[in-house]
Structure 1
């Protein structure tokens, strides 16, 4: 068998980005054949990815890609297990590559996105398995949205944990970024009051009616109180009704009118939103290990 030199290990590490010991083991298994060793590691990285698949991935990043002409873009959430890995440059690069692939493809969901080739020529799934093998954590593409518009797109990322993509027309790029930042800060559920679901409004109206009825006021006064509460609620949950975060004396609706602009749609992702995180009792784990 060929001698496994430090130079061979370094070369394989450069090719794969994996640890030295893993590279040395692969070279031994491949009897010093670097190409074969790389294949061995790719196979094993796929196996490693599947073994980790059951572990909860509730940390991660939100990444965004917008084309040069501002007409096409995508927002994506990519999850991992720990915040430490979420800050790794390789993991962030993977998320950015996935965002670009989502924007430039016609993939309908994350399952289809996995097979899309990235700018490097590898598929999104190939990159996912490679970064899992390198960092040793389960990682998943949770969700993405793609926008194509006749207007333009703008985005805002808040520490990679909150991401917003806005489709708007009129105004300028600065306005789009301001609106995206406002969405991240104020968290509206939709653009305008006509987009609030009837079921949600009925539910709120029932609650407000019951509360107002306890006041003992006449029915006509109660009705006015309820409508006042509904109007206040609509202002709170709609983008257009909210006070602009940079100038609370002005609503977003008035800001857009001033700039002769309209917002067609927006999407906001918050990392780990809705994912139930496992609570780990490290003290109990250590105590159990000590008994073994």
Structure 2
């Protein structure tokens, strides 16, 4: 009898006690730090609400799978993860410009023009048909401020920082994005990803069928891989297997790297973990342009800083 009782107790120890079901925890909402030489102007902050998502893809070597968690999350059954691609809040998003730390207080206190010359001064002057001398003047500052106000860049002090420079690059590319010929001209649809300018567009037989839009590629040490690929999987309501974060309108093209939408400002943060991030609306529009097996061509290198 004693021997039987001991055997029963030993067997019972192999099974854990039943407990409450595990609850999914939403990813941290910590926001990446600004580049060292820039600071968000005092009084301005990126919009809160949706957790920033800079690591949406699979680890290298992993293949995406239609897991039970993915299906449940898409149906809204996993706590802490929204259901399906979430429509952004109404109204345009402010793009927060980085300014010198010494300028942050000035920008908050006054709407007057900055006295500083930004790193993208010459590019802004050239686009605005000012004398491209790379030096700030009162007339330059007023023109850059008007440009910033028109494109919802804050604070609109006339400082031509990285965000202002990125918007100038986007607008200059609209006329002829493949002028340099880096993206091959094919009879089939080709998604062109320019890491140098942080832009992408779609062309077919030499004609642009999806205008250039801003992207956010991989951060340093986790750069987006260059090369020519084909879209092998599309998921409208995808959740990252590795990071458990939403990847709306995901279109995979290279071992887990994908185009997909994000809800934070596309100009914020150091970058993704390899995916090509787009704004929610751009990712949605791209979803209706590309199809499975379409070509994706990636070249260049993301600028540092």
Q: Which has the larger radius of gyration?
A: 1
TM-score grouping bracket, smaller chain normalisation: under 0.3
Q: Give the structure-2-normalised TM-score.
A: 0.24
Higher helix proportion:
1
Q: Give the structure-1-normalised TM-score.
A: 0.24
